[in-house]
């Protein structure tokens, strides 16, 4: 069932938007993929793909620290 474009543009129900919103609401912290997945209700592999895309767009930063990947805005 189609939705109006205006509703589509205003929607933040996508997992990508949820990840970005969560990270922006915690600007002084960095999170592992598993923590982000749990916080936004997604699977780790989905969140990894989203973070990879957000990194390419320079909306998030990622770093490997002691063998674990951390992400923040």
3-state secondary structure of 36: helix
Sign of the alpha-carbon torsion through 54, 55, 61, 63: positive
- pLDDT for the residue numbered 11: 66
Q: Span 27-49, mean pLDDT?
A: 97
* Model pTM score: 0.80
Cα–Cα distance for residue pair 7/65, rounded to 1 Å: 40
Q: Is residue 73 predicted with pLDDT exceeding 90?
A: yes
In 1-73, alpha helices (H) = 5-10, 15-24, 33-40, 44-56
Domains observed in the chain: 12-72 (1.10.10.10)
Q: Span 40-53, mean pLDDT?
A: 95
Q: Span 3-7, mean pLDDT?
A: 84
Q: Is residue 12 predicted with pLDDT exceeding 80?
A: no
């Amino acid at each position: 069932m189609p939705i109006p474009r205006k509703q589509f543009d205003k929607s933040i129900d996508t997992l990508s938007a949820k990840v970005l919103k969560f990270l922006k609401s915690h600007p002084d912290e960095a999170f592992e993929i598993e923590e982000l997945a749990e916080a936004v209700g997604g699977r780790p592999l989905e969140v990894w793909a989203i973070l990879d895309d957000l990194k390419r767009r320079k909306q998030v930063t990622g770093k490997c620290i002691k063998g674990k990947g951390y992400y923040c805005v």
